[in-house]
Structure formats: structure tokens, C-alpha cells
Chain A
Amino acid sequence: MRTVIEFRVEYLQRLDPDGNAVGELPAFARDPDEVLRMYRAMTLARAFDAKAVNLQRTGQLGTYASCLGHEATHIGIGAAMRAEDVFAPVYREVGTQLWRGVTMREILLYWGGDERGNDFSGPRADFPWCVPIATQTLHAAGAAMAFKIRREPRCAVATIGDGGTSEGAFYEALNVAGARALPVVFAVVNNGWAISVPVAAQTAARTLAQKAIAAGIPGLQVDGNDVFAVREAMSAALERARGGGGPTLVEALTYRLSDHTTADDASRYRSAREVDDARALEPLLRTRRFLEKAGRWNADRERELLAECARTIDAAVADHLAAPRPSTDAMFDHLFANLPERIREQRIAARRHAGTDGH
């Protein structure tokens, strides 16, 4: 027998948990202002996230999926993308969305149970949140196909969780993207858990990155708690895609430090010890240490930043809480470009019944 093909999966880390550079840093990481920009964005995402969880706990928001622990992955993806690229998220990528200009008010509207939250005022071409797992990966492939047909130098990025990589749609997306050399990057956010199911129970594959190999596209792992590594790998993949080189899969290894959502209780299925160990590797701390070592950060600045985040968030929350309840018309508006007559009649009936639910 002879070997027809061999493969290997590489792992990229640029910032260790103590905040030391690993290997040669990419240009953006050598620019302290750029690092500061990413650190601020990560901090804002975390602070916003904590506020959202709080609002849920006090009955002012619906079920919410926390991004705690994912900040480096989310900001790394956002910072690598261009504004004109298109993002197809799942439901947890608050950091990427804030970076791309989705507003806090929109995020709160969505999780507060109001479709207006999906009408992004910033990234108008981005896809909305996507709850049906893995379906978004095909939308990203399709968007990439549109860019390719129209010869636009744009890329699509889809995120997907570790659990999501078990769905058929994910493989279909990888396959079509590889077969047509589409300008798309699949960012697999491997946070160890799909609700109560650990990655090892999803697949016998040693890495999720290697799932790309079967589709004939490159796949690599990065330290998902290292914003430098995520951005570097995503940038390289996007550059390759933009240049006609086809898709890439980037598996970011991170950890879900929170419950799956506010409706979940992770203590039912995972140990506090595991979470504590993971917390020691979390992404903000190492970025702050890096900045401190570079003489660009200290406790005062941290305090100022947190205060500034709190002000921004409080204003957005106040704005959100003041948003008037949508009228019953919102149920029907935008269902079709031209609402059929039978449904127009139902819209009128719904107005008549409005508020009769007793809730």
C-alpha cells in the first residue's frame, strides 16, 4: 500500500496566558493603539454581556446566550473582517456584532423579544442571528457565491459552534465552498460544550479543524482566547479567500464560561473545577497583561475604561427599556412585500383583539 494523502492540523498561538508574545507578532499586534482598540472592544463586550444577563435575571430581557469567555474569538473575527464583508452569526457573537456596528439597543431588542432587533442599522448586509444550528453556514457560502459571480472583492464569514459541526448543513457548506473555491471563512467556535454535550461526545475526530480536510480545504486551530492568533488566522484566511484562493476553516479553541443560556444550569452536567481551570485561561486577562508589560495599561486606566463602558451600556439599556411595545401590526408587516388580502384582514382583526390576552 502507498500513502495517497497525509494531513496535519496546525495550532496557532501568539499570546500566552501570562500575556507574553509567542513567536513573531503580526503587524497589528505590534501597534499598541490597535491592541488597545481590541482590548477595549473585548472589555465592552464582556461588560455588556454581564448587563444583559442581569437584565434577564430581573425579568427585563428574555432568554439570553452569554458570550462570557468568547471575547477574543469574537473580536478577533470582527477585527479581521472588512466592513463590506458579510457576517453570518449564530446567536452568541455579541463581540463580533458590536465590532461590526450592531447596536446594543438592537441586541437587547432581539433578546427582549422584538424583531426590530434584527434590522441592523450598521452592517446592513449582515445576516441576523441564527438559532437553527448550522443553517447559517450555507447562507455564508451562498453570499460568497454571489460575490464571486459579481466579481466583488468581498468575503463571507460564518461562525458555528462545536456542536453545530455535527449537522449535515455544515458539511454541505464546507463541501460546496471547497468545490467552487468560494470566498468564505468558517470560524468554528469550539467552546467545549454544546449545552450539556462535550465535544468528545459529538465526534471521534481529534480536531474540528480536520473536518475541512475532507472538503479539500485548509483547516487550522487557533487559541481562541488569544485575540492576536484569532485575528491573524482569520486575516490570512480572508486574504486568501479575497484573492481567489477559496475557503478556510478556522477552529478557535475557547471555553463557555457561562451557562449555555440564562435558561440553562451548567452545574447539572459539568464540574466547577473544569470551569475554574478554564477561567485561568480567559482572554481579557492575558491581553491586559500584554498591555501592562508594554507600559500601556494600569489599574487607573482599567477603572476609567470600566466606567466608560458602564456609561455606554446604561444609556443603551435606558434607550431599550423606553422602546414602545410593538403594535400587533408588527406581526404582519414585512411578512410579504405585498400582504395578501386574507392576511390584511387578519391584521385588522388582530388590532381589534389587541390586549385581550390578559397577560
Chain B
Amino acid sequence: MAHGWEMQHDPAVVVIGEDVGANGGVFRATQGLQQRFGAERVQDTPLAEAAIAGIAIGMAAQGLKPIAEIQFMGFLYPALDQIINHMSRLRHRTRGRLTCPIVMRMPHGGGIHAPEHHSESVETLLCHVPGLRVVSPSSPARAYGLLLAAIRDPDPVMFLEPTRLYRASRQEVPDDGRALPLDRAFVLREGADVTIVAWGAMIAETLQASAELADTGVDAEVIDLATLSPIDATTILDSVAKTGRLVIVQEAARNVGVGAEIAAIAAEDGLFDLLAPIRRVTGYDTVMPLHRLEREYIPSVRRIVDAVRGTMADPR
């Protein structure tokens, strides 16, 4: 929907990727666009991710605004050379002469019984790269507003779309062309006792956990990080100053994850507000399992509730 709005209003916007044309993308995110805007502005590329990222750079540097789809995040890797060595730094290298207003969209994360390599959460790889914005929506409405913002942003945005979101959520979203801000976290639920930071698909489990906690008298504040890099430290630190407790929920493996960065921010700039040690609820430091065990890997509501209860019980 955001694609359509922006293509309608900005002739520079083009869509490329594998199966984005007649098929409308494997998750139907680009459905109907080729019929509406033609096979030149909505193009199926050959099956080559390095090519997708590389031609996006070429097109962007010459005035177009490509929205490039990588079919699943697990197939991003051939494109990383182009993204890291060129897309993220063309502006910097050319002192602002050539730029990359590109959105790289990709399905992210597990929980839909997909085959091998289709369910990983590897946002950390991208968050570590200077010059990239990394964004992940947690609902259809947020996907609409954040995608519009990403397309309009003058720099490359890695847009990670939770696969569970395509399947689970049905939500009426007004097609009004209104963008949400990038680089800003959203407080989804206000609370006084503990701050829980999550993003993407894990927001669903986190909200469920906070509802359960409310029943037992624990008032959690839930923050949707939304932009994973750069992190909106202010919103998190303000919340921690209020609650004194911080739990971070991420689907990705624990080691060097975005959660570790948030914990570091809280330790560096919010330590004296903390009443208890920070806790992380994460995927494990192992390969995302095939689907029979994927739900054992993805943090469950129970694990989040346990972590919050743990932090509430922690002596200061």
C-alpha cells in the first residue's frame, strides 16, 4: 500500500526484486503494482542478490529511488558486498555528490514454518554498518508509515519485515500517505514498574506478556524500538528513569545483538536510574532451527514474563 501511494506521488520510485512483478512478491507485498505502474517501474530481476543491490545503487546514484526486495533475509548475503562497500558509504565517499536513497525490504525472522534459511533474524549484521538505517515495523500500520518514511529518506534504509506479521495481523490501515518518523522509538504501553524494549514480531509476545503481568500487578512500559539503528536512546533512558528496570526482548541470537547495545546504552547513561540488573530475553547463540523447534528458539511469552518477574524480584 505504501509502495502504491509513493509510486503514484513520486515518479522516481521504482520497485525491483525477485518475483515482485506478476507474482506480487512471495508475501504479496508488491501485489498489483506491476499492473498499475508497468513492467519498467516494477521489475522482476534475474535471480541475483548482488545484482539487485548493485543496480539499486546505480539507479539511485542517477536519480531514481529504488525499493529493492530481497526475497528472504537469509538470501541477503550475496548483496552485502554492494551494501556495505558502496550503498552505505557512497554519500560519504563522494562528499555528498552521489547518494543512495534506497529501501532494501526483506522478510525477517521465524515462526511461520518456513524452510531452512528462511527464518533467521540477522539485523545485527546490518546495524553494525555505519551509514545504514535499519528499521523493523511491528504492525501493518507501522509498516505503512515507516515504509513511507524509508522511501522518502535520502539515505539507504534496510527495512526488515517480520514474516509473522504477514501471516498474523489483519488491520485496517488508512492509505493517506502519512509517514511515521524514523530514528524514533514508540511507547506502546505506558507503565511504572519496568521498561520492556522489543521490536518487530516480538512486540506481539511482549504486549501479551505485559497484559499477563498487569493481571498480577506488574505495570510494564513497552517500547517498540522501530528503528534498530540508530537507536533512540532518549526514549529508552527516559523510560528507565521512570521505571528503574529494563528488560530487552529480541528474537535474534544473544551474542552482540541489538539488545546488547541497548543494555550498554542503559549502563553507560542510565546506570544510576537502575534498581536491578538489566535482563535480556533472546534467541539462543545457535543456528535458527528448522521449523519443528523454531518456537523453542523464539522467546515465548512465558520467558518474557519470567524475566520481568525476575527483575521485579531482584534486590537492588
A228 shortest CB reach to chain B, Å: 30
Q: A164-B47, A167-B48, A202-B47 are in contact. Are A113 and B117 (CB under 8 A)?
A: no
**How many interface residues does A have (CB within 8 Å)?**
51
Contacts of A201 in B (CB 8 A): 44, 46
Is B18 touching A331 in the complex (CB atoms < 8 A)? no
Q: What's the least CB distance linking B125 to chain A, in Å? A: 15
Q: A129-B116, A343-B284 are known contacts. Are A196 and B293 too (CB-CB below 8 A)? A: no
Cα(A114)–Cα(B291), bound, Å:
7
Judged by a CB distance under 8 angstroms, whether B51 is at the interface is yes
Instruction: Decide yes or no whether A207 CB sits under 8 A from chain B.
Output: no
Q: Which of A63, A196, A331, A342 contacts B296 (CB 8 A)?
A: A331
CB distance from A98 to the nearest CB of B (A): 19
A168 to B290, CA, bound (A): 27
* A346, A357, A359: the one within 8 Å of B285 (CB): A346
Q: Assess the A167–B78 pair: CB atoms within 8 A.
A: yes
Cross-chain contact B113 with A63 (CB below 8 angstroms): yes
Query: Which residues of the other chain, B, contact A91 by a CB distance below 8 angstroms?
Result: 115
Q: B18: which A residues are within 8 A, CB to CB?
A: 194-195, 197
Considering only residues 3-25 of chain B, those with a C-beta below 8 Å from chain A are 18-19, 21-24
Binds A, one of B57-65, B138-146, B299-307: B299-307
Q: Per a CB cutoff under 8 Å, which of A111, A194, A197, A331 touches B286?
A: A331
Binds B, one of A7-15, A239-247, A287-295, A348-356: A348-356
B296 & A132 in contact (Cβ 8 Å cutoff): no
Q: A353 and B48 in contact (CB under 8 A), knowing A133-B75, A196-B22? A: no
Instruction: Specify which chain B residues have a CB less than 8 angstroms from the CB of A164 in the assembled complex.
Output: 47
Q: A132-B117, A169-B78 are known contacts. Are A330 and B293 too (CB-CB below 8 A)?
A: yes
Q: Determine whether the beta carbon of B22 is less than 8 Å from that of A268.
A: yes
Judging by beta carbons under 8 Å apart, are B48 and A168 in contact? Answer: yes
Looking at the complex, which one of B22, B24, B302 makes contact with A358 (CB distance below 8 Å)? B302
As a 0/1 sequence over residues 64 to 88 of chain B, the CB contacts with chain A under 8 angstroms (1 = contact) are 0000000000110110000000000
Q: Is A325 an interface residue (CB 8 A)?
A: yes
Question: A208: shortest Cβ distance to chain B, in Å?
Answer: 12
Q: Is the CB of A326 within 8 A of B46?
A: no
Task: Give which listed residue, B22, B116, B295, contacts A359 with CB less than 8 A.
Answer: B295
Q: Identify the closest chain B residue to A339 (Cβ).
A: B286
Is A178 located at the chain interface by the 8 A CB criterion?
no
Size range of the chain B interface in the assembly: 35 or more
Identity of the chain A residue whose Cβ is nearest the Cβ of B255 in the assembled complex: A342
User: A54 on the interface (CB 8 Å rule)?
Assistant: no
Which residue from B118, B291, B296, B302 sits with its C-beta under 8 Å from A350?
Answer: B296
Interface majority SS (helix, strand, loop, mixed), chain B: loop
Enumerate chain B residues within 8 angstroms of A312, measured Cβ to Cβ: none
Per-position 1/0 for B173-184, Cβ under 8 A of A: 000000000000
- Residue B135, interface by CB 8 Å: no
Does A203 interact with chain B (Cβ within 8 Å)?
yes
Knowing A62-B115, A167-B47, A196-B44 are in contact, say whether A113-B303 is a contact too (CB < 8 A).
no
Please report the C-alpha to C-alpha distance between residue A166 and residue B293 in the assembled complex, in whole angstroms. Answer: 33
Are A331 and B293 in contact (CB-based, < 8 A)?
yes
Q: Which of B274-293 contact A (CB under 8 A)?
A: 284-287, 289-293
Structural contact, B113 and A113, CB atoms closer than 8 A: yes
Question: Given A62-B291, A115-B290, A269-B23 in contact, is the A332-B46 Cβ separation under 8 Å?
Answer: no
In the bound complex, how far is the Cα of B286 from the Cα of A358, in angstroms? 22
List the A residue with the shortest CB-CB distance to B301: A358
Q: Is the CB of B47 within 8 A of A163?
A: yes
Measured CA separation A115–B78 after assembly (Å): 24
| B192 located at the interface, meaning its Cβ lies under 8 Å from any Cβ of chain A in the complex | no
In the A-B complex, list the 7 residue pairs whose CB atoms are closest, starting with the nearest: A113-B291, A196-B23, A166-B46, A356-B302, A357-B295, A163-B47, A113-B292
Q: Which residues of B contact A (CB under 8 A)?
A: 18-19, 21-24, 26, 44, 46-51, 74-75, 77-78, 113-118, 254, 284-287, 289-298, 300-303
Interchain Cβ contacts under 8 Å between A and B, 11 examples = A113-B291, A131-B115, A133-B75, A196-B44, A326-B292, A331-B287, A343-B284, A343-B285, A343-B286, A346-B284, A357-B300
